[in-house]
Structure 1
Amino acid sequence: MNIMKKLVFLSMALFLVGVGTATAQVRQRSLGIELGSHNAAVYDLTLGRHFSVTAKAGLVLEAGFSGKKDVNGKRFSFGGFTPFASLEPRWHFSGESASDLFHTGGYLGVRLNGAWDRATIFGPSYPKGYDRPLYTLGFSPRFGWVFGVNENSYIGLSAGLEFFRTKMSYNEGGSPWRTPRTEGVIPVSLEMTYGIRF
C-alpha cells in the first residue's frame, strides 16, 4: 500500500512539474494591440504549451473580392470599419515558441465573433427604405501562422471559412436575416495583422 501511495504521489508530482513546464514557455496572460485588417485590443490566455484562448475587440476592415460582379458591376468592395468582438480557442501545433509573450508558429482555431454593422465607420450609404445590416453573429474555423518579429511583436496571418447570420432592418419585401446560403456565397476571410504584446 505504501508503494502505491508513493507511485501516486510521484505521478502527481511529475504531472504538476509537466504542467508547470508547459505553461512556463509562454506567459499565462498577455495584453496587446493589433493593426491591419483587424485593429484591436488583444487579451491572450495560455492554457498550456499547445492551447490558448484569444479575445479581441476593435474595428475590422470590411473589404472583399467576389468571383461574381455585384449590381454595380464591381468585384471589389469596401465597406468601411466595423466594430467587432471575438473569442478564439486555439490549438498550437508548432513546437517551442520564440517568445514568452505569445505563441509563434502554426495553429488551428475556431473564432466566435460578433460585429455591429449599424455602427460602421466610412461605410456605404443606404437609400431610404433599403434593407441595411444591423449586426452579424458568426463562427469561423481557421488556420493561422504567427511570425515573431522580436520578443514582443509579431506578424499574424490567418484564413478561415465564415459562417454568419446578419440581422437586417426589415422593410417591405426584405428578409430579416442574411446567411451564406441566402447570399449564395462561400466566404473565405483573410486576416493580416502586426501585433505588439506587453
Structure 2
Amino acid sequence: MGQQKMEWKHKDKEAEEIPEKAKKDANMPCTSIGVQVVYGLHTVDSRKLLWGKLKQIESSQQGPWLAMGDYNAIHKVEHRLIGSNVQEAEIKDFKSFLIENNMSVLRTMGREFCWTNGHTYTIIDWALENVSWMLDMPTSEVILLDPGYSDHCPLSLNFAKEDTSKAKPFKFMNHLAQHENFQEIVMRAWNQRHRAGKIYDV
C-alpha cells in the first residue's frame, strides 16, 4: 500500500497533513482551488475504478481543480525508459481520461523521470489540471524533486506570481486534437461571429 503526504504552507500557517485520496480545498489569495490526492493501483484493471472516480469528481468541479499524486500509470510510450515494452492497453485508459475530461498535465520542471528501480526509469507521478486551473493559474507548475529516501520523486506544487507586464503564452494541448468532436468544435467556433475586432479577421 502506498503512502502519501501532502503539505500546505502559507505564510505563518503550519503545514497540514492530508489523508490518502482526500480532497483539500485550499483558500488562495485569489481564488478557491480543489486538490485531489491520487494513488493508483499497479494493474490496468485495478485502475479502471480510479479513472471512473476521477471523472465523477472532475464533473462536479466548479473551479480550478488539480489531481496530483502517484497514478502508477503512463499515457505515452516515451514515459518509460528501458524495462518492458509499453503496450497500448497500458496507456489507453489514461489517454482517454485526459481527452474525455479536457484535462492536461501541469507544466513539470526538474528531473526527467520520477521513479526508478535502478534499471527502469519512468514517469508515473502526475499533476493533472482542469481547464479552470489552467486559465486561473497559468504560472503554476510542479517540480520533481530529488527522491531522497523514497524511490519516487516528491512533487512540489509552486504558485509563481503572475507577471502581468508580459503577454500570456499561447497554449495548445496536443491530446485534445484526438477528441472525436475536435474538428466539429473548432469549425463551430471558427464560424461564429465575433465583435472583438480585426483580430478575428484572418
Specify if TM > 0.5. Answer: no
With structure 2 as the length reference, what TM-score do the two structures score?
Answer: 0.22
TM-score by length of 1: 0.23
Instruction: Indicate the structure with greater strand content.
Output: 1
Q: Which has the higher contact order (CA 8 A, sep 6+)?
A: 1
